[in-house]
Amino acid sequence: MNHAFVTGAAGFIGSHLVDRLLADGVAVTGWDNLATGQLRFLAEAQKNPRFQLLRGDNLDLPALTAGMRDTDFVFHLAANADIKDGWSHPRRDLEQNTIATFNVLEAMRANGVRRMAFSSTGSVYGEALVTPDRPTPETDAFPVQTSLYAASKTAGEGLISAYAEGGQLDEAYVFRFVSILGERYTHGHVFDFYHQLRQHPDYLRVLGNGRQRKSYLYVQDCLDGILHVARAHTAREARHRTQVYNLGTPEYVEVNQSIAHLCAELGVTPRLDYTGGDRGWIGDNPFIFLDTQKIQATGWRPKLTIAQGVVRTVRWLRDNPWVYAARGVNS
């Protein structure tokens, strides 16, 4: 890998990836429409002569194709990740996740770029009807999809594997993440809870019953996994030239436990007001726990626990209150 192209380069995960690649001596072209990405996340990268940021949209195929010229690896991270409010704008998942992925693949084909990594989601497993508490492996059959976001990511995975099978890709890596935590975090439960507690530290509104069980992963551990297998070329000899990996921690917590970690860091003891039911919104999966034995067999291990990831996220949000205004969240 000499020159990487990163979609969603100004986002939470994308900006960290840009920094990691540059530190490793890789030239990087970043691509972002800055709808949710933050230029401040790329402040250090923009001082590096091996980095170029292009402002563009994945739906603009001619511009995307031109921007990808002379690169040799694509990290496709850009997506609409608004699962909770997906039914308020259902076309957004189709356009920004599925059609955008098709355009990335077509731009790669036009430029002869034959290696890629794709950020999918553990949500593609829906609500697998399996033994309680059993982590979901990559080999599980997909059930009926429960969110537009997961459905659009499933379609993206299908396109990628079809392009690889059709001889258009030499290596394709699909990563099914749990929710990611860490510095530059700009949406999700810790973001929402911390915002509430800044406004009213005496009570916290919790969607659902607080007993939803979820796994989370620290952002640098996530990037360790992505870069580890990409550099090992594990997809090169794989069937269909595609490798699918779950990425997560070998543990999960209840939402209530995550709240406890957050509140302990802030030194508050709010009253918890639950909205009721076993899930927070339409499409919310009350149990997400991924089996990561496949990627662990390659030598990757997460370094931080969920509790440590929550604490680092809270500390970053506390030190960077500007991110709420930047995301259009009222103070």
pLDDT over threshold 60, residue 14? yes
Question: CA 163 to CA 102: how far, in whole Å?
Answer: 10
pLDDT at res. 129: 56
Query: Given strand 73-76, what is the order of strands in its sheet?
Result: 51-55, 27-32, 3-7, 73-76, 115-121, 171-177, 242-247
What pTM, to 2 d.p., does this model score?
Answer: 0.95
pLDDT at res. 237: 86
pLDDT over threshold 80, residue 94? yes
Of 168, 306, 289, 174, the residue nearest 229 (C-alpha) = 174
Domains, the chain: 3-180+217-247 (3.40.50.720), 182-214+250-288+304-326 (3.90.25.10)
| 3-state DSSP assignment of residue 72 | coil
> What is the tens place of the pLDDT at every residue in 250-284?
999 999 999 999 999 999 999 999 999 988 888 88
Question: CA 188 to CA 193: how far, in whole Å?
Answer: 9
